[in-house]
Chains A and B, each alone.
Chain A
Amino acid sequence: MSEVEKSSTLICLKCNVPLKMQTNKFSYLGFNFNTEIPTCPRCGLMFLSEELVKGKVTEVEKGLEDK
């Protein structure tokens, strides 16, 4: 299931609305990034899937830590 499809099954329990793909800001060791992830359009609560964390996020972290 892609992130977009997945977002439709995710509901923010506080605002009671489905999450939508939205660009969010991240930083690590002084570097900044933007990535689209499922986010609550009202309160901004977001979801980083385990796939994303184990894949891309870990890759970015390791790349920066190696330096």
Chain B
Amino acid sequence: MDMMTLENLKKKCTRDEPVFCTNQCPLSVDVKKLAARIASGDFQGAYKYYSSQVIFPEIISRLCDKPCQTVCLRSKIDEVVAVKNLEQACCDYVDTKETSQYYISRKNKHIAVIGGGLGGLSCAVKLARKGYAVDLYEEKDGLGGYLRESENLIPLQIIEKELARIIQKEEIRLHLGTKINTLDEIECDALYIATGWDGNGFGLKPGFDPVSLGTLRKGAFISGSIMKRSESSVLIPVREGIRVAQAIENYLKIGTMGGMAGCHEVVPSRLSVDIDGVVFEKQIVAENQESYTIPEAIAEAKRCLQCGCDMCMNSCEMLSFFEKNPKKIIDDVEASMNIVKAFTTNIASREINSCNTCGLCKEVCPENIDFEELFMSSRRVLHKGGKLPLAFHDFWMRDMEFSNSEEAFVMINANGGDKSSYLFFSGCQLGGSDPNYVINAYTYLKKHLEEEPAMMIGCCGAPAQWAGREDEHRAVIDWIRNIWENQGRPEVILACPSCRKMFEKYLPEIQVQSLWQVMAAQENSVNKSVASKKMTIFDPCASRYDPETQNSIRIILKNSGYELEELPYYPGKVQCCGYGGQIQAVNRPLFDKIVKIRVEATTHDYVTYCTNCRDTFAAAGKSAVHILDLLFSDDITASAARKPPTLTQRRENRIKLKKVLETEREGMKMASEDKPIKKIKVFIAPEVYNKMDRSFILKEDVQRTIEYCESTEKKIMDMSTGNFIGHLQDGNITFWVIYKPERDGFRLETVYSHRLVIEEGL
């Protein structure tokens, strides 16, 4: 992932694209802001914003030709938001039209504006507000230009009242009934000619700049109406006036006439808005046929969809957890990779390691921006540079090592030979959760496949991949490939969706299918009669690209008499249970938040086919079963309520599973009994185990620490409690134990750990 790629990603993100309505409005009225204020009943706030934007709120709210309403997304669902009525309402229900005044230093520059229509007035007001002395010349006896003659457009009384209030407040020197014949008559530092469609241009046509409206004469600007501009919206003169005010200020400060920002053309917005879940709601019609009442205005303002692209933030708890704009997240990744020397050394390491790696972000993003890959690239770079805190992934790396060690790894050949057409790979956590899962599945496969399968129990390397540790990951992948080659390249049957994802990505040469597909195909023999019950399938995030497995599970359940209620995200946007990426150690609050949301997503029991999902939910108190429970357990209720094993029990289960399988095999009966593991006896209460799990401490760690304290006598006696205290620095972790002798071993009072290294021996 290089800098160009990251920059392009930032460009692809549509989050900062203009909103359609505002984009279409010549005065750039932020309709979302206006509607949000009215929706909350803040008419004063709405008016304050609206008047600052359009200058003449009473007039514009009546004259506006509603370009915003032509692009309102509501039109695709029901009816557009009646923005014009809302603008009118914010004028109608405002307590005071006086807006707060700020002190502005008077500037020693004189501006002349010729023409008292909305265009000239807009320019005059904007410059007066900035402290310039403004003289406004109007040949007629009243302001408002053509509006005064078009009686049907707007009542003269309203025009006069609003303009008089503004002129008075802004202290513009008004010269009514004053016709300017030549520009020599007026003395000024800059000038705006806004004399209308057939007005006097004072011979300044050539050199006209359509954006700044500057002429070739220094300091003189001229309205597009004199140039017979094509745009006819009543809002255009106001926009021109505002632009000329900016151009004049620019000219007075730096002497340039052009180069203004802005454009006549509306550049189409690339903004993507998810309108799938929007409820049909008709436009509010004013009961009096003319203008909204306060409740009507509030109800209509609430119809505004507040368009914006926030699909990634809405779908991913991690992205919303950090409350950062996606572009800021890309910046963080960029800084972490040190591609550009960052201004700060902050590399947001926790953020980068908090991703579940479920990949939902790219599914929901209209531009398919892949934050998972971004974070993974960053983790790999951080790890290589020694900048990735060990504490984040170390426990799981050691767990992977354990799974593939002599203690837990199992390889069983088929039919006494070393070749088979099938190899059942159960992964590491299935047997960790319950050894019977693996034993039952293996027995099932032996019975139903046309040829006995070989079996391998170990880890697919996912923890190393999630930790960004490429070398360790590659080593596991190569090792699996090697075993598979030696087994005669069998078809691999996988039980774990994450293993399948890993196999498909890193071992594409291996033909795989899921255990569930095998079972679904054998419908007559696997169906266990169960009570008709409503359940919800929780599809693991790793199954998102595996519709075959998703379907197989449904076939099995439907054939078994279950009534299923699907989650809204099924099938293509299935979510992570929280376990993915093993973020518990990195960001426990985020993990807890995700689990809570998933658990509360349905009142039905969950059935899942990933044991990590099942155990995650069960630990949170949710009734959840693994599909193997439904197929092989005699007591579904007990299975659904089964508390997941502690981290220590997970390891013990894997050791136990290996023993059971080896005992079943001839010639291996004595293998494990030959080398009994003698360890110090430690008694641990269940609540201490819970605490250990949250801190990723195993019984083995406790045993090792007590053993160390006892053998070296490096221990402290706490006289107030009679407890022993000791510690052991083990790699990047220091374990502290508080314990006392009991029976033939020790009772653990408590244990805790830290990563801070004690510089001992000083």
User: Footprint of B on A, CB under 8 Å?
Assistant: 9-14, 19, 24-29, 32-33, 40, 43-48, 50, 53-54, 57-58, 60-62, 64-67
Contacts and interface: CB of A to CB of B under 8 A. Distances in A.
Contacts of B391: 61, 65
Contacts of A54: 752
Contacts of B345: 67
Chain B contact-residue range equals 20 to 34
A24 B714 contact: no
Contacts of A64: 389
Contacts of B752: 50, 53-54
Contacts of A67: 345-347, 349
B722 to A, nearest CB: 10
B716 A19 contact: yes
A65 B757 contact: no
B109 interface: no
A61 B756 contact: yes
A13 B716 contact: yes
B677 interface: no
Interface string B336-360: 0000000001111110000000000
Contact of A57 (B347, B349, B717, B754): B754
Contacts of B760: 44
Given A13-B713, A13-B717, A61 B754 contact: yes
A11 B347 contact: no
Contact of B754 (A12, A27, A53): A53
Contacts of B350: 62, 65-66
Contacts of A57: 754, 756
Nearest to A1: B720
Given A25-B762, A50-B750, A65-B392, 16 more contacts: A10-B717, A10-B719, A11-B719, A12-B716, A13-B716, A14-B715, A19-B716, A25-B758, A26-B757, A26-B759, A28-B757, A44-B761, A48-B758, A57-B756, A62-B350, A66-B350
A33 B757 CA distance: 10
Contacts of A25: 758-759, 762
B348 A11 contact: no
A29 to B, nearest CB: 6
B755 A10 contact: no
B756 A45 contact: no
A45 B714 contact: yes
A28 to B, nearest CB: 5
Chain B CB count within 10 A is highest, among A43, A57, A65, for: A65
A66 B349 contact: yes
Contacts of A44: 760-762
A11 B716 contact: yes
Contacts of A12: 716
Nearest to B736: A48
Interface string B702-736: 00000000000111111110001101000000001
Nearest to B345: A67
A14 to B, nearest CB: 5
- The 8 closest A-B CB pairs, nearest first, are A25-B759, A9-B719, A65-B389, A9-B720, A11-B717, A28-B756, A66-B350, A14-B713
A28 B725 contact: no
A45 to B, nearest CB: 6
The residue in B716, B727, B738, B750 that gathers the most chain A C-beta atoms within 10 A of its C-beta is B716
21 contacts: A10-B718, A11-B716, A13-B715, A13-B717, A14-B715, A19-B716, A24-B758, A24-B759, A25-B759, A25-B762, A26-B757, A27-B757, A28-B757, A29-B389, A44-B760, A44-B761, A45-B716, A50-B738, A57-B754, A57-B756, A65-B350
